[in-house]
Amino acid sequence: MNTNENSFRPAAVIFDMDGLMLDTERLSIPLWSQAGNTFGYNITEEIVLRMVGISSNKARELLFDEFGADFPYDSIYEEFRLLIGKKIEKNGVPKKYGLIELLDRLAAAKIPLAVATSTRSARALEMLQKAGISDRFSAVVCGDEITNGKPAPDIFLLAAEKLGVPPSACVGFEDSPAGLKGLHSAGIRSIFIKDVIEPTQDVLATVWRKCNDLKEAAELLNL
């Protein structure tokens, strides 16, 4: 993969979901803390940020490592789900700036799209539907469909396979270090849109392009 190209017209585009298309990571941080406090655990922002972009199983392991074997993960996770559900019911699913414009331009160019998210299938499909964008994607690959989650390349390779396009002909949008590593390992050009985490320099060195938002990213692609 030549990362020095000035422009590249993808045959397909793969999107992360949380923190990339949907502004849910910022929403989640205080709610994890609130859910933890209900059961007497201080789940700090620093801990939640370490959970960004990884699979549910990896996040679960991280919390057990942090708080010990007696950590009531299932109860706290259920409380978190209730809290975020109430927020979304009240305010809707927050979408990232420029998302609809980018999706419209890709649709006009007849470029097939996929979602590759660490989120479990039931929740991912629910969130995409509530955001009004579920019909935009030819394929949705979720964290519970693969054995090795991000930063492994598996989820992106499966998304490309479902789209019927070689990984090298795809572009992937990501906001998390784990996702960027996965795209690089899959041989897919990455576009990084910062959300709540600034990747380390070694991760940024693998990035094809960095944009401030999805509207700016739309200008990059030769559509």
* pLDDT (tens digit per residue) in 55-85: 888 899 999 999 999 999 999 999 999 999 9
> How far apart are the C-alpha atoms of 24 and 127, rounded to whole Å?
10
Mean pLDDT of the chain: 94
| pLDDT band, very low/low/confident/very high, at 221 (cuts 50, 70, 90) | confident
Q: How confident is the model at residue 48 (pLDDT cuts 50, 70, 90)?
A: very high
What is the pLDDT at residue 190? 98
pLDDT at 31: 96
Burial readout 172-192 (b: 16 or more C-beta within 10 A, e: otherwise): bbbbbbbbbbbbbbbbbbbbb
In this structure, which amino acid lies at residue 36?
A: G
Average pLDDT of span 164-187:
97
Q: Is the pLDDT of residue 218 over 90?
A: no
User: What pLDDT does residue 93 have?
Assistant: 94
What is the percent of the chain where pLDDT is above 90?
A: 89
Contacts of 116 (CB under 8 A, 6+ apart): 14, 15, 16, 141, 155, 156, 158, 159, 172, 179
222 pLDDT higher than 90: no
The domain made up of 12-23+94-220 has a fold known as Rossmann fold (3.40.50)
